[in-house]
Structure 1
Amino acid sequence: MLLRLVSVSALVLSTIVVPGAAASAEVVEAMSRDFGITKGEALARISQEKTALRIDPSAQAAAGNAYGGSWFADGKLNVAVTDPAKADAVRATGATPVLRAKSLASLNSTKDGIDRMSKSGKVPAGIASWRVDVPTGTVVVEAEPTADVSALPKDVVVKRDGVRQPRTFAAGTVGGDPFYTGNVRCSIGFSVHGGYVTAGHCNVGAWNVYGWDRSWQGEFVGSSFPTNDYGWVRTGGGWWNVPVVLGWGQVSDALVRGSWEAPPGTSVCRSGSTSHWHCGVVQGRNETVNYQQGAVYEMVGTSVCAEPGDSGGSFITGDQAQGVTSGGYGDCTGGGRTWFQPVNEILRVYGLTLLTA
């Protein structure tokens, strides 16, 4: 069998009108459910986020060396600046300037110091992750309640509530979707010319990959985990690649049209073979995730839930590919946090081209 696409043409939500193919009616329904907002509010948010993604590169350029980071909130793109003289130039791009004491470069320097501690084995046990939190202009460390954080830089903000050690979301072999390697089930991320990208930890050394129907699908050409969590599979055996993210009958299958990177605060949805379709927000970029197997750098943290078997699956904002599911903590009953490996980094490392509609 070839790649299975889930058809939801029988689902009709006639009360929703989606302008300009910004999102399907079912995606609006899913966002309304997961965000606790009306369908009209979901449509408005989708339109506002599309504008924010479009103007973000110009706003960053306008801020120059005073740039403190971008985030989406209150329906608009906010841009931190350390120099009030840059505010008008940022405002001219359509973004809202916010004065901050520290530049993004300064905040990244603090985070990079913790990364160096991690690489030398000096990060204490029980530290789940660390990131630059752009909306607050701080470096945030997530730590379990009993973790000793005294060795960390003094100016970091420590969050402990509900934090647990993250884990990857691979799973033992079970019947179903969508691909298997060794005794592990994972999820396809995004189609590229010649194959697809997914999580690196899904390659357990078996290299051969089998599809949802257990027919030979291809092989891992490259993978990296930890430090990174990415890999790509070259497909064969009659399988073809399409620029689609499965909606699992909960939403329409999503077409992929590009890979603009969503700033913190932007909505993002995830498709995976265990828990299927769920939505949340981007909470931080360039986060470091501290798995038991080792730290993974330059990740994106989200409020979207995930479960074992979802590893490698797609994170998408509107029709823009964001990344592949790596791991996290919690589940889709009680909630939690999930991180993804940015898709543009994977494309760049392996010289791949995203397949788009």
Structure 2
Amino acid sequence: MRFTVLTSVAVLAAALVVPSATAQAAAVPDPSPDPSKVATAEQAMKRDLGLTPTQARVRQAHEAGATVVERQLRSRLAGRFAGAWFTPGEGRLSVGVLNNGDADLVRAAGALPVPVPRSEKQLATTKAALDRAADVAGKDIHSWYVDVAANTVVVSAADRAAAERFVKAGAVDAAEVRISVGEAPKPLYDIRGGDQYVINGNTLCSVGFAVNNGGFVTAGHCGGTGSPTLGYNNVSQGTFAGSSFPGNDYAWVRTNGNWTPRPWVNNYGGGNVAVAGSQEAVVGASICRSGRTTGWRCGVIQAKNVTVNYSGSLVYGLTQTSACAEGGDSGGAWITGDQAQGVTSGGSGNCSTGGNTFYQPVNEILGAYGLSLTTTGGGNTSRLIGWQDRCIDVPNSNGADGQRLQLWDCNGTAAQNWTFPGDGTVRAFGLCMDVAWGSTANGAAIQLANCSGNPAQQFVLSGAGDLVNPQANKCVDVTGFGGGGTPLQLWECNGGANQKWRRG
């Protein structure tokens, strides 16, 4: 049972934000690259290039061979080399040639000769002339480069007239240039827990966790709905799409297209902590937090469902910890292992003398705004295989609220595809696996229901193969060790084979 503790905190939640007079000086370095890959190269190539695993392996083998051939021909042709590029349809390297003799040499090397009018050296000279004219390019010129396959130099611009002026300023042969009109490129930045951001140009807070819906969650007292934000680099970032304080202390900042959600928390030691999900830790568990002022600090969870009195502004349902925090840390990420826990609300004391700090649990924020965390799991989908090597199944693929789940022969249909978005839920057909009526009793039905953030929709697949609902501390169970078509129920975990599950 959780008890509500009314705590009067001398330090306001708002005191964990700081003015932004020194925002420029306080900016932190650009987030480091992802230390691990969410998907394998083959999975990414299937998603982005439409290649099967076999096609991907064959293509990569051909591309590796093309690299060797390109290096050999570049050396042999020297100044006559006219560029090389891999042609997927041919499954081999294409090489630009200026004469028939070179074409024979290219064929002998196993590549495909393509007659072209200009050498790579000639095109590089044209590109270099444009480089020297860069000072007059202006914002309407987006880029310029050598397109070896087209045997030309490409100038990308906002409009044709601007490109023609630039080409003229570079004093190059217009016949060697192709103009491309399109959208301007833009720099891209990462959203990472614990990094600084600026609200209304004058207040500093810290990012909580990136969300797949675009943006991040943070503390509500950092800014009101509609407040604009700048990132750690003082570049335009986004706007508060929702904010709640007092009563709650949470918010969602919806970011613009320049910012990419990442499953990371800044550890302020030169690296990132990966975020895999949001399973709630127990009282007494160790926990760490990240914030722009005091960096990475750790403590233990002391109490849950704490009601905090911020000098007359009451906030309910916070979690109390022994970790310290200071001004500017508000909104920052709390994490246990690789599981997101919450965002910094307020506290007492500081990181010199010690104190207590409170955080708003993250799953409540996700439920309030219908968000999902950006996690290393990437919302991947798999079957849940158990007793008699059968699968958890949605009967007749009827993805409806209240549909009871069953055991059925594994068949690869959507009725057995379960997605793990990283927020503790298990989903199919846009609905969540659920314990009927939030029951904790043996025999309660396991069903599909509209996702609500209710604890009845939280499940953990343990290393021992138990699929546990933490609220009840009971397992998903095949009723009576039945066969195909047997309904699933909640039951006290007993280690039975009818309670063992694996992803596959």
TM-score when normalising by structure 1: 0.54
CA contact (8 A) 1:231 1:346 kept: yes
Could you say which residue in structure 1 is the equivalent of 2:199? 181
Q: Give 2:11's match in structure 1, choosing from 150, 166, 170.
A: 166
CA contact (8 A) 1:268 1:315 kept: yes
CA contact (8 A) 1:267 1:282 kept: yes
Deviations 1:73-128 (A, max 9, x none): xxxxxxxxxxxxxxxxxxxxxxxxxxxxxxx2xx64xx4xxxxxxxxxxxxxxxxx
Return the alpha-carbon distance in structure 1 between the equivalents of residues 311 and 215 of structure 2. 30
Which of structures 1 and 2 has the bigger CA Rg?
2
For residues 69-218 of structure 1, the aligned pairs below 5 Å read 104=1, 108=3, 111=4, 130=5, 142=7, 165-168=10-13, 169-173=16-20, 174-175=22-23, 176-177=26-27, 178-182=196-200, 183-193=202-212, 194-204=214-224, 207-218=227-238
Structure 2 residue 245 is matched with structure 1 residue 225: yes
How many residue pairs get matched?
201
When the two chains are superposed, the root-mean-square deviation of aligned CA atoms in Å is 1.5
Could you say which residue in structure 1 is the equivalent of 2:333? 314
Change (3 A) 1:204 1:349: closer
Return the alpha-carbon distance in structure 2 between the equivalents of residues 321 and 237 of structure 1. 24
Could you say which residue in structure 1 is the equivalent of 2:308? 289
Could you say which residue in structure 2 is the equivalent of 1:254? 273
Structure 2 residue 365 is matched with structure 1 residue 346: yes
Return the alpha-carbon distance in structure 1 between the equivalents of residues 313 and 7 of structure 2. 16
Return the alpha-carbon distance in structure 2 between the equivalents of residues 267 and 278 of structure 1. 11
Return the alpha-carbon distance in structure 1 between the equivalents of residues 292 and 235 of structure 2. 17
CA contact (8 A) 1:166 1:289 kept: no
CA contact (8 A) 2:7 2:308 kept: no
C-alpha displacement of 1:271: 0.2
Amino acid at match of 2:211: V
Report the secondary structure of 2:373's partner residue: coil
CA contact (8 A) 2:7 2:309 kept: no
Q: Give 2:355's match in structure 1, choosing from 336, 340, 344.
A: 336
Amino acid at match of 1:228: N
C-alpha displacement of 1:166: 3.3
Amino acid at match of 1:344: N
| Identical positions, percent | 49
Could you say which residue in structure 1 is the equivalent of 2:259? 239
Return the alpha-carbon distance in structure 2 between the equivalents of residues 185 and 308 of structure 1. 8
Return the alpha-carbon distance in structure 2 between the equivalents of residues 293 and 222 of structure 1. 22
C-alpha displacement of 1:213: 1.4
Change (3 A) 1:205 1:356: closer
Deviations 1:242-277 (A, max 9, x none): 010001126x31000000101110000000000000
CA contact (8 A) 1:305 1:331 kept: yes
C-alpha displacement of 1:170: 0.8
CA contact (8 A) 1:265 1:282 kept: yes
Return the alpha-carbon distance in structure 1 between the equivalents of residues 368 and 259 of structure 2. 24
TM-score when normalising by structure 2: 0.39
C-alpha displacement of 1:292: 1.9
CA contact (8 A) 1:166 1:290 kept: no
Which structure would you say has the larger RCO, counting Cα contacts within 8 Å and 6 or more residues apart? 1
Report the secondary structure of 2:287's partner residue: strand
Return the alpha-carbon distance in structure 1 between the equivalents of residues 308 and 254 of structure 2. 27
CA contact (8 A) 1:284 1:301 kept: yes
